[in-house]
Amino acid sequence: MKVLGIDTSGYANAVGVIDDNQVLADFTFEARNDSLEKIVANIDFVLKEAGLSLEDIEGFGVGLGPGSWTGIKVGVTVGKILAFSTNKPVSGVPTLEVLAYQARNMPGLICPIINAGAGDTIYAAFYRTKDGTVSRAGEYYVGDIQGLAEMIKEPTVFIGAEAQAYSRLINQALGSPDDIRAIEDIPRGSVVALLAATCLERGENDDVLSLAPLYLKESTAKAFVNRYSRSVQAKG
């Protein structure tokens, strides 16, 4: 299945195209004030790199955040417009899940972290992998790094754009354990596409009109415990 994936939740935007388990093209670029124009231009670029046209795409994947509220809305809006105009299905994928999947080959608990852009607040969640499956273990976390550190009870790998800095703070809080590791990475458009494809192939597409960003704040994070909690079966 040929799927185009988009994520505009952070300081870098991402676009990627897959065909089943093969990555055809993947591109990341700095998010700017002209993100809407850039994302449209770079979708065209990625499609050309993949040797495809928009008509060849069979479905769309969109990163839902959490992250930059304004940025996420750009990607979700573009994904909805593409899905609506081509009459193709779309699936929203939590950005924390995208990051977790990118660390799926690491042993131990996986904890993606995203800066909330407000003081020292972060978004995070814990994920486990088994047989290529990524599934969230527990609720989404919204709070400070100290509160997250208190939740660490086993070997954990942190992943995100600022994972190294956060892991140092967690090491300090926990007394520098040897079982805390960090991977600095950003969400990849191809991974958004891959996770979306798994859902689309099961017929689990989202309604194009009601699809909305995943907005988390500390007072409402628990309301999203069951939302977007799909376990994703990896391909290949």
Q: What is the pLDDT of residues 79-117, one digit of tens each?
A: 999 999 999 999 999 999 999 999 999 988 999 999 987
Judge whether 72 lies within some domain: yes
CA 23 to chain centre: 17
Interatomic CA distance for residues 197 and 101, integer angstroms: 14
Q: What is the pLDDT of residues 6-39, one digit of tens each?
A: 999 988 999 999 999 899 999 999 887 767 888 9
Interatomic CA distance for residues 126 and 101, integer angstroms: 11
Query: Between 203 and 228, whose confidence is greater?
Result: 203
Judge whether 140 lies within some domain: yes
Q: Smallest Cα–Cα separation from 134: which of 159, 101, 94? A: 101
Q: What is the pLDDT of residues 151-198, one digit of tens each?
A: 999 999 999 999 999 999 998 888 866 788 999 999 999 999 999 999
The pLDDT, as a whole number, for residue 215 is 85
Q: Which residue has the tokens 């959490």?
A: 66
Q: Are residues 122 and 169 in the same domain?
A: yes
Q: Are residues 6 and 89 in the same domain?
A: yes
In the chain, the number of structural domains is 2
CATH code of 131's domain: 3.30.420.40
- Global pTM? 0.89
| Residues 67/9, Cβ–Cβ less than 8 Å | yes
Question: Which H or E run contains 223?
Answer: none
Could you list the residue range(s) of the whole structural domain that residue 205 is in? 2-94+188-217
Q: Are residues 61 and 105 in the same domain?
A: no
Maximum Cα–Cα distance for the chain, whole Å?
55
Q: Are residues 56 and 103 in the same domain?
A: no
Judge whether 223 lies within some domain: no
